[in-house]
Amino acid sequence: MNDMERDEPPQWFQDMVMPEENQALDSKVVQLDRARNAKGYKFQTAGEMSAMPVRKGWLIKGVFAAGESSAWVAPPGGMKSALLADASVCAAYGHDWHGFRNKGATGVVYFALERADLVRRRILAHVARLNLPPPPIVVVGDMVDPRNAKRIAATIHEAEEALGVPIGLAIFDTFAKLIAAAGGNENDAKDQGMVFANLQRVKNVTGVHLAIIGHTGKDVSRGMRGSNAALGDVDLMVEISGDIVRTATVTKANDAPEGPLFSFKSEVHEFGTDEDGDAITVNIVGSETVTETAVKRSEPKLTGQNQKLLFRILHDAGAAGLALDEWNSRAREAGVTRKATLTEARYALLDKKMVKNSGNMWSVNHV
């Protein structure tokens, strides 16, 4: 058994998830004792599960939950990194975030695989704007190899020691750089699966929420760029759209409704001037409350994960399209197994004129 499988969540996380009832406490003790001596994989009995609370360990209620993962995607320049820098500061200070309640300040590790200096400036701009002492945030500017889950987890534990507070949120910016660091390709489901499997190992031993930042492709209706495997690996998928007013919209969630989360605008923060007298600036998420929403993409709009998944599979096949059996087979591999569900989603796409068929062949209408 490798060291990664023997690691346990830090004590602060064990304390957080332990309910006050004696029954649940005894159950957790039994599980921890079993894990220390186990030769196989960890497990829980149904009796032990029933003794545990069903509530989530929210960091920011309704958005970031301990032990879960989220993806935040937008086109280049879509303010996705700026939004997660904003989230980092609110999580670390214990501030509510765009109307969502903070459940307690937590440390943050921001893995800035690209533009680390920009990430640092954004965080410092928020600190200056709030006029508060530095928050418990660390920025990792090195290239991070996702195959080394043990080192990522060690970085989180060492950040806890350096900051003196538990880490609840870890951000990876961007997913494309993360997968490339392992020599992988974001278009390859196998490579994506390797990254997500190792990120799951990190969550298992740290209890943090992992937020990944990704890009949309040329066709923004397809969501996150690359293989659609990410849809099945994150608990929350949020797309950011708009220009002057940007809107963060939930497009996939395990236990929350889809739809707009909030809207926001950007603002320029000035640090002062450089040696030439020019302003030193950085673009960050503004403090103004925005009630209007960004103009949504033109109809037709894909609704429901099954329609989106089937559309992406067909779009990835290119202009040639797919035979019906092959389309269904790929959808089943992605997790849509019921024939009635496949048929319903397929004809919904046909009704919206998003796809077309000729005999047994199907293709999208705007490749």
pLDDT in tens, 248-269: 999 888 877 788 999 999 999 9
DSSP letter, residue 41: -
* pLDDT at residue 297 is higher than 70: no
pLDDT in tens, 344-361: 888 888 877 788 888 788
CA atoms within 13 A on the CB side of 305: 21
Q: What is the pLDDT of residue 100?
A: 95
- Residue ranges of domains in the chain: 58-285, 305-364
pTM of the predicted structure, to 2 decimals: 0.70
Fold held by 58-285: Rossmann fold (3.40.50)
Q: Which of 239, 282, 299, 281 is nearest to 263 (CA)?
A: 239
Domain 305-364 CATH assignment equals 1.10.10:
yes
DSSP output for 198-219: HHHHHHHHH--EEEEEEEB-SS
Mean pLDDT value of segment 181-200: 88
- Strand runs labelled E in the chain: 58-60, 64-65, 69-74, 107-112, 137-140, 167-173, 209-215, 236-242, 246-253, 259-264, 266-273, 279-285, 322-323, 355-358, 361-364
pLDDT in tens, 272-295: 888 988 889 999 999 888 876 554
